[in-house]
């Protein structure tokens, strides 16, 4: 399959400024985006793919998506290859369009090296102590936001709207600990009870110490191959069936909703592509930076209705061999591993083990032929990207 | 006083100021709280931008706000070296939600829906920053 003839360059804009003392880098990105969209005869709400490189301030594409209010993005790419990035991006955009992953891709570049005092390592913001970093920085970074308290805000609001309790959240940790006891590499191997979780010391309301994931060194890697290579290898075959992604942020503050994650968009896309439903899933790897992360994502992915996550996770429903939806059978980020504070790869790794039938016998899901791995990157409480992957064991 | 009843305070570092947001911080130094509103679509937004995040119009203008609203959500961090502090969002009467710290209130004195009002807290080496206290 080739991209030949599958995509079109329909808008282009070069910013007229060559010296921009009065225009921030985010604003330059935004003005370039507006220029290219206007040139094409499109508007920002038509954009469903966003591509940027290291010149875009912030965390990957998340800050610029939020700054520009791009609310329909379902494909993100922040590949960085220096000055050639934007040519790489056109190729990647064409691939994404050919695969149906987006239909209008926006690629932006902007920066202000002339304002950096013309010295290497300068602050880049111009004179007078000005900076030129992520556009939200001045209005957010000063308030002591951490993962603990920004996720805490989500849990607090979820409890307020839906009556979710600390005991219900604790069941998520309890389930993870039941799995971790069988993992010889798990950072925390002790089985814990609901009482132990809710009586552990408060970190940031309403999240206790045992509502939080571990901090670990380490890493992981994955190999994805063509069907031909897969066939040539002497390993069980785990077939990629569907994937979805979606950024979500405060986006101007008018539709702030801390009880939903981007999974409400990434999940349905992945399920639709795979041609399956949540009811078909035998095993779920669900990002567990905190217990609330799991609960919100399970709701948003459609394993239960919004607001019913507390009841869904209670009474061992996530424990392999006990409940209806075995999750994070390696012990997850809550007990096993959260290498360099990025849990997405270990979610895929345990799903591969389950689909191969190579999970620990005490937690191996019987006839595990369909699995999901889902993650949240960034912060649910500010801006994040959700990613959903559905995999099938090929008989 | 116990942790639960003592009013929370937290030293706040100087904010990052860009050419795009300098008017906000200049006003903050005078004790005025500004938000941005788009004259194209009429909507107010937060944090302030040159381009409207709702319609991408460049016709955004600064507007002085009384800084009144209600708490959307919050979380009290209990593990800080300078004592407990509260982060949260305030839904302004104008509509947008603002990330902030809550002051002038005990850790157990906050509630979702509580009416709050902006005030400015000094920073070291920078302009004062908006924080919110019970109205």
Q: Is residue B87 part of a domain?
A: yes
Give tens-digit pLDDT for A215-263.
999 999 999 999 999 999 999 999 999 999 999 999 999 989 999 999 9
Residue pair B119/B131 in contact by the 8 Å Cβ criterion: yes
Contact between residue A204 and residue B76 where contact means Cβ atoms under 8 Å apart: yes
Contact A258 B95 (CB under 8 A): no
**Contact (CB<8Å) B80/A34:** no
In a domain, B122, yes or no: yes
| B99·A26 Cβ contact <8 A | no
Domain holding B27: CATH number?
2.40.50.840
The answer to whether residue B4 scores a pLDDT higher than 70 is: no
d(CA A54, CA A255): 28
Asked, for residue B2, whether it belongs to a domain, the answer is no
Give a yes or no: residue B79 inside a domain.
yes
Strand-pair category, A49-51 with A105-107? parallel
The distance from CA A129 to its chain's CA centroid, rounded to whole angstroms, is 34
| Over residues A122-138, mean pLDDT | 78
B12 in any annotated domain:
no
The model's pTM is 0.95
- B1 pLDDT above the threshold of 90: no
Number of domains in chain B: 1
Q: Are residues A143 and B12, on separate chains, in Cβ contact within 8 Å?
A: yes
Min distance B85 CA to chain A CA atoms (Å): 8
Residue B10 falls inside a structural domain:
no
DSSP secondary structure of A95-156: HHHHTTS-SSEEE-----GGGTTTSTT--SS-STT---S-TTHHHHGGG---HHHHHHHHHH
| A280-306 mean pLDDT | 98
Mean pLDDT value of segment A65-85: 97
Enter the ipTM: 0.96
Question: What pLDDT does A118 receive?
Answer: 45
Would you say B8 and B102 are in contact if contact means Cβ atoms under 8 Å apart? yes
Contact at CB, A44 and B56, closer than 8 angstroms: yes
Q: Tell me chain A's radius of gyration from C-alpha atoms.
A: 22
Q: What is the pLDDT of residues A77-118, one digit of tens each?
A: 999 999 999 999 999 999 999 999 999 999 999 999 999 764
Q: Answer yes or no: is B113 within a domain.
A: yes
Is there a contact between B16 and A156 if contact means CB atoms under 8 Å apart? Answer: no
Interface of A with B in 123-182 (CB under 8 A): 125-126, 128-133, 135-146, 148-150, 152-157, 160
Residue B88 in domain: yes
Determine the structural domain holding residue B78 and report its residue range: 17-134
Rounded-to-integer distance, Cα B12 and Cα B85, Å: 11
| CA–CA dist A250, A382 (Å, integer) | 6
Question: Any chain B CB within 8 A of the CB of A382?
Answer: yes
Residue in chain A lying closest to B124 (CA): A142
| Phi (first) and psi of residue A69, to 5 degrees | 70, 35
Q: What is the model's pLDDT at position A126?
A: 56
């Amino acid at each position: 399959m080739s991209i030949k003839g599958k995509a079109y360059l329909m808008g282009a804009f070069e910013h007229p400024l060559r010296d921009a003392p009065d225009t921030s880098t985010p604003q330059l990105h935004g003005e370039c985006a507006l220029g290219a969209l206007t040139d094409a005869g499109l508007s920002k709400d038509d954009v469903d793919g966003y591509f940027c490189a290291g010149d875009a301030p912030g965390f990957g594409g998340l800050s610029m998506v939020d700054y520009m209010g791009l609310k329909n993005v379902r494909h993100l790419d922040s590949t960085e290859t220096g000055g050639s990035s934007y040519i790489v991006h056109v190729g990647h955009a064409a691939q994404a369009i050919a695969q149906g992953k987006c239909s209008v891709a926006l690629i932006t570049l902007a920066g202000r090296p002339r304002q950096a005092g013309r010295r290497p390592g300068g602050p880049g913001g111009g004179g007078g102590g000005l900076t030129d970093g992520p556009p939200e920085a001045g209005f957010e970074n000063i308030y002591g936001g951490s993962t603990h308290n920004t996720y805490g805000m989500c849990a607090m609001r979820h409890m307020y709207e839906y009556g979710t309790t600390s005991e219900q959240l604790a069941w998520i940790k309890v389930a993870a600990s039941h799995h971790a006891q069988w993992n010889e590499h798990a950072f925390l191997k002790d089985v814990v009870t609901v009482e132990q979780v809710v009586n552990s010391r408060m970190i940031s309301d309403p999240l206790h110490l045992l509502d939080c994931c571990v901090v670990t060194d380490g890493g992981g890697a994955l190999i994805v191959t063509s069907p031909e290579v897969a066939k040539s290898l002497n390993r069980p075959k785990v077939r990629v069936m569907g994937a979805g992604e979606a950024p979500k942020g405060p986006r101007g503050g008018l539709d702030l909703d801390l009880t939903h994650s981007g999974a409400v968009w990434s999940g349905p896309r992945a399920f639709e592509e795979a041609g399956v439903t949540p009811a078909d899933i035998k095993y779920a790897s669900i990002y567990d930076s905190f217990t609330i992360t799991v609960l919100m994502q399970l709701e948003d992915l459609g394993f239960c209705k919004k607001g019913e996550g507390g009841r869904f996770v209670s009474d061992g429903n996530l424990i392999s061999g006990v409940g209806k939806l075995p999750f994070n059978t390696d012990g997850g980020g809550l007990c096993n591993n959260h290498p360099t504070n990025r849990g997405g790869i270990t979610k895929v790794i345990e799903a591969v083990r389950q689909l191969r039938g190579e999970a620990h016998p005490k937690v191996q899901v019987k006839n595990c032929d369909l699995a999901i791995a889902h993650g949240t990157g960034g912060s649910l409480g500010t801006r994040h990207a959700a990613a959903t992957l559905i995999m099938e064991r090929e008989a | 006083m116990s942790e639960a009843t003592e009013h929370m305070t937290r030293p706040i570092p100087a904010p990052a100021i860009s050419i795009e947001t300098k008017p906000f911080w200049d006003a903050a130094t005078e004790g005025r709280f500004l938000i941005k509103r788009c004259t194209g679509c009429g909507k107010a937004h937060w944090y302030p931008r040159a381009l409207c995040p709702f319609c991408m119009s460049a016709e955004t203008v600064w507007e002085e706000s009384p800084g009144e609203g209600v708490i959307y959500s919050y979380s009290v961090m209990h593990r800080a070296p300078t004592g407990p502090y509260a982060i949260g969002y305030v839904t302004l009467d104008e509509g947008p939600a603002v990330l902030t710290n809550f002051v002038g209130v005990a850790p157990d004195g906050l509630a979702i829906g509580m009416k709050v009002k902006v005030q400015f807290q000094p920073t070291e080496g920078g302009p004062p920053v908006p924080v919110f206290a019970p109205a």
